Amino acid sequence: MKPIITFARWGNYTIAFETLFKKMGLEVIPPEKINSQTILEGAKLSPEMFCFPLKATLGSYLPALKKGANTIFMVQNAGGSCRQRYYGRIQEKVLKEQGWEINFIDFKTTPKDIYSELKKISRVSTWQIFQAARFFLKELHLIERIEKEAQFLRPREVEKRQTDKILDWALLEIDEIDDGRRLLKLKKEILKKLSKIKIDKEKDVLKVGLIGEIYTVCDPTINFEIEKKLGWERIEVHREMDITYHLKKAIFPWKDWIIQRKINPYLKSTVGGHGRDAIYEMLNYVKKDFDGVIQLLPAMCMPEVTVRPILEKIHQESGIPFLSLSLDEQVAEVGIDTRLEAFVDVVKNYHKNI
Amino acid sequence: MKIGIPRALIYWKRPIFWESFFEGLGFDVLLSPNTNKKIVEMGVNASDPETCFSVKVFFGHLLWLDGKCDPIRKSSISNGVNLIFVPRMKANEGKLEYCPKFFALPDLAKIMVKTPILTATFDERKEKFETTLQKLGKKLKRNKKEVKRATETAFLKEKELREKEEKEFFEKIKSEKRKIILISHPYNLQDEYVNLRLEEKLEKLGAEVIFIDEVPNKQLTTYNLQQITTKKQKLSVVSCQLSVNFHWEFGKEIMGKIDELFEISRAKNVQISGAVEISSFPCGCDAVLKEFVEREFKQRKTPFLYLMIDEQTGEAGFQTRLEAFVDTL
C-alpha cells in the first residue's frame, strides 16, 4: 500500500508540515481547514471528556481520509505529563472502530525518533530528509515572522485590514513554493509589501499578552481569530508560544531551568504541558507593564486549569487585567466576542486610572 | 505541634501510613472528618470551576483544617493545627507519574490557606521514598533514628491493612452472590460521601462488591509462580498489542489489577458478573483510562457501567442507573 499522508491541522503552520512531507517525495492530502462542521464531526466520534484539541484534530483528518489518505502522523509526547501523550492511541482506536483502514504513526518528539519514523515511511536518503527538514524550518520561520509582523502592524495601520490582506496573500504564496531560492525571493517580496503599509507612528498602542495552551493560542480558527479582533481594536498582541519556541525548549533544556527559577515563588514543580510557561510569560508581561493578559485554554485542559488559580493570584497582586477563555466545541463565537469587548474596555482604562 | 492531614485525594493512596508516621515522630495528628456536604460546598466555592471534583473536595478538607488553625498562639499548648501536610507526589517506585494535578497541590494550597503548609517532593525517579521521608523528618527537627523507626512502624501498619484487605478479597470472591467489581481511584472508592454510598447501594441490590484496590498486586499472589509467569507472559503479549503503556501509576495499576482479577477468577472458577467504573467529573486521566478499561471488559464479555460523579450528582439518578444495571446482569 502506497502511503498517502495526512496530519493534524495546526493553524498557519499546516503549510510548512505539508511541504516537509512533499519534499520527501510522499503523497500528502492536507487536513481540512477547521470549521464548525469538522469540529462537530470530530466531537461526535471522540470520547466525551477528552480535551478539545483531540476532537478538533480528529475532525480535520476525516475529510482527508475520505479523499483517500491512509497514513496519519501524530506527535506523542509534546505535552510532557499531560494527556496529549495518548492522542495517537485514542484517535487510532476511535478511527479503527469506525472502520477506517489506517496506519497511525505515533512518534515521540526526540530528533532520533522523528528521523527514524520519517526514514521508515519515506525510504529516501538521509540527505533528502535533512534537506526537507531544513526547508521546513525555513518556511516555519517565515510564517512565524510574518505572523509577528502582522501583530505589530495591525493596530498601527492607517488603511484598515490591509495587513490581513497581505498576510492571506503571503500564506497562499508560501503554500505553492517548494524550493529554497524561490522562498528567499518570496520572503523579500512579502517583507517589502509589509513595510509599505502606512502606519501611524504617533499613536500609542495598547499591549496585550496572549498566554496559554499552545494549540489554542496558535490556531486562529480555533481561537476565533482573537489576534485579528484585538488588532482591529488597536491593541498590539504579543505571544511567545509558537512551534519554534516549543522546538527550542525540546532541544535545549536550560530554558526550562530559567523558567523554573523565575516562577519559584508561585509554583515549584512542572505540571505538564506549558503550565509553567504560562506563569513565566504572565510575570514577564506584568514586568513589562502590559495593559492586559489573555489566557486561552481548551476546556478542562489539565495543566492550564491547574495553573489558573496562580495566574489569578498574579492578577490580584499586580492589578493587570486578566481574562481566561476556555474553548471547546460548544463555545459560540458571539459569547467570546462579548467577553472580549468587555475586556477591551477594561484594558483601555487600565493605565488611565493611575 | 499538631499536624493536619486532609482526608482526601493523596491521603487515600496510603490510608494509614501518614498518620502513623507523624504519630511515630511524636506529633499530634488531626485528620479532617469524613467528607460531608459542608466540606464539599466549601471546596466548590473556593476552587477553580474547571478542576476535577476530587480536587474540589480536597480543597474543602484543606479549608476545614484551616478553620481549625490557631494563628495567634503558635506554641505547643495551643489546640489548633500548626501545619497542614500536603505532599507533592510526583513519581512512585515504578518510576510512574501521578496525576499532573497532584504536582501543584502544595502551591495551590499555599495560595488558599493561611496555615503554613508542610510539604515534601516524592519523586522516586530521583530519590528513594525513605530518603525523602528523612528530609521531611529533618524539616521537623527529628533525628535519623526516630524517622527510621516511625517509617518502619508506618510501613508495618500499612502492610497489615493490605493483608487484611487481601484476605477479605479472597473471602468475597468465594461468596455465592453476584460479584461486581468497582473500578476507580482510591479517593473515589474509599470516600463514601463522594461516591454516594455506592457500595451500600449495590449490596442492597444483592451484589458482592469488590474494590479494584483490594485485588492483590501481581507479586503478592499466593499462586504457583511458575504458572503465573507463563500466563503473565501470554497475557502481557496480548495486552501489549491492545492497550497503551501508561506513564501514570494508577493507569498501569488498574490495568494490571484487572488482568490479575480475571486470572484469579479463572483459577478459582468464579465469574465476575459486572463492572462499574466511577470517575469524578472532569477527570482528565479517566478520559484516557476509561477507553481502555471499557475495552478490557468488552473483550471478556462482562457488562460495564460508567458513572460520573460531581457536586450536582443526584442520588435518585444514581440509584436508577444502578438498579437497571443490576437487572441486566
User: How many CB atoms within 10 Å of residue B268?
Assistant: 10
Half-sphere exposure of B50 (CA within 13 A, CB side): 21
Which pLDDT belongs to residue A354?
59
Residue type, B281: F
How far apart CA B171 and CA B148 sit, in angstroms, is 35
Q: What is the pLDDT of residues B241-294, one digit of tens each?
A: 445 678 888 888 888 888 888 888 888 888 888 999 999 888 888 888 888 888
Question: Coil, strand or helix: which one is A347?
Answer: helix
- Single out the residue of B150, B193, B191, B9 nearest to residue B85, CA to CA: B9
pLDDT in tens, A127-138: 998 999 899 999
Asked whether the beta carbons of residue A272 and residue B100 sit closer than 8 angstroms, the reply is yes
Shortest Cα–Cα distance, B270 to chain A (Å): 31
Give the pLDDT of residue B231.
Answer: 47
| Residue B195 burial by Cβ neighbours in a 10 Å radius (0-12, 13-18, 19+) | buried
Contact state of A49 with B121 under an 8 Å Cβ cutoff: no
Whether B101 and A86 lie within 8 Å, measured CB to CB: no
> Which residue segments constitute the domains of chain A, with CATH numbers given?
4-122 (3.40.50), 205-354 (3.40.50.11900)
B153: exposed, middle or buried (Cβ count in 10 Å: 0-12, 13-18, 19+): middle
A238 pLDDT band, cuts 50/70/90, is very high
Q: Give A192: exposed, middle or buried? Use CB within 10 Å, 0-12, 13-18, 19+.
A: exposed
d(CA B117, CA B121) in angstroms, rounded, equals 13
- Given a cut of 60, whether residue B102 has pLDDT beyond it is yes
Query: Which pLDDT belongs to residue A353?
Result: 65
A66 Cβ neighbours under 8 A, 6+ residues apart: none
pLDDT at B235: 45
Per the CB < 8 Å rule, is A271 touching B100? Answer: yes
Q: In what order do the strands lie in the sheet with B274-280?
A: B207-211, B178-183, B274-280, B304-309
- Rounded CA Rg of chain B: 21
CB contact under 8 Å between A307 and B104, yes or no, is: yes
pLDDT at residue B73 in the model: 54
Q: Mean pLDDT highest for which of A24-38, A63-77, A280-294, B234-248?
A: A280-294
CB contact under 8 A, A49 and B100: no
Contacts of B48 in chain A (CB under 8 A): 305, 308-309
ipTM above 0.95, yes or no: no
Among residues B144, B223, B205, B195, the alpha carbon closest in space to that of B40 is found at B195
Average pLDDT over residues B220-225: 38
Q: Kindly state the average pLDDT of the residues A316-335.
A: 91
CB pairs under 8 A between A and B: 91
Q: What average pLDDT does range B38-55 have in this prediction?
A: 91
Higher pLDDT, B243 or A53: A53
- B108 touches A at CB < 8 Å: yes
pLDDT at B166 over 90: no
Determine the Cα–Cα distance for residues A268 and A9; give it in Å rounded to an integer.
34
CA distance A139 to chain B (A): 35
Helix (H) or strand (E) holding B319: helix B315-328
**Residues of chain B contacting residue A300, judged by C-beta atoms under 8 Å apart:** 50, 282, 284
| Mutate which: A48, A49, A213, A268, vs B, most B CBs within 10 A | A49
Whether a cis peptide bond, with omega within 30° of 0, leads into B282 is yes
CB atoms within 10 A of CB A14: 20
Cα distance between residue B136 and residue B150, in whole Å? 12
Whole-number percent of chain A with pLDDT over 70: 99
> pLDDT tens across A69-93, in order?
888 988 887 777 788 888 888 898 8
Which residue matches cell numbers 477527570?
A: B283
* Res A175 pLDDT > 60: yes
Q: Answer whether A5's CB lies under 8 Å from A69's CB.
A: yes
Residue A42 contacts B, CB cutoff 8 Å? no
Which residues of chain A are within 8 Å of residue B101 when distances are taken between CB atoms? Answer: 271, 302, 306
Q: What percentage of chain A exceeds 90 in pLDDT?
A: 47
Q: What percent of chain B has pLDDT over 70?
A: 89
Residues B171-175, mean pLDDT to the nearest whole number = 84
Question: Is the pLDDT reported for residue B71 higher than 80?
Answer: no
Asked whether the beta carbons of B12 and B92 are under 8 A apart, the reply is no
State the CB neighbour count (10 A cutoff) for residue B239: 18
pLDDT at residue B234 tops 50: no
Chain A: closest CA distance from residue B153 (Å): 30
- For chain A, the first-to-last Cα distance in angstroms comes to 67
* Mutate which: B9, B50, B123, vs A, most A CBs within 10 A: B50
Q: How confident is the model at residue B238 (pLDDT cuts 50, 70, 90)?
A: very low
Given this model, what pLDDT does residue B70 score? 65
Question: In this structure, what are the phi and psi dihedrals at residue A269, rounded to the nearest 5 degrees?
Answer: -150, 160
Instruction: Tell me the residues of chain B between 2 and 61 that have a Cβ less than 8 Å away from chain A.
Output: 47-48, 50-51
Predicted confidence at residue B14, as pLDDT, reads 86
Closest CA to B117 of B156, B161, B150, B87: B87
Note the pLDDT of residue B74. Answer: 52
> Cell 503473565, residue?
B232
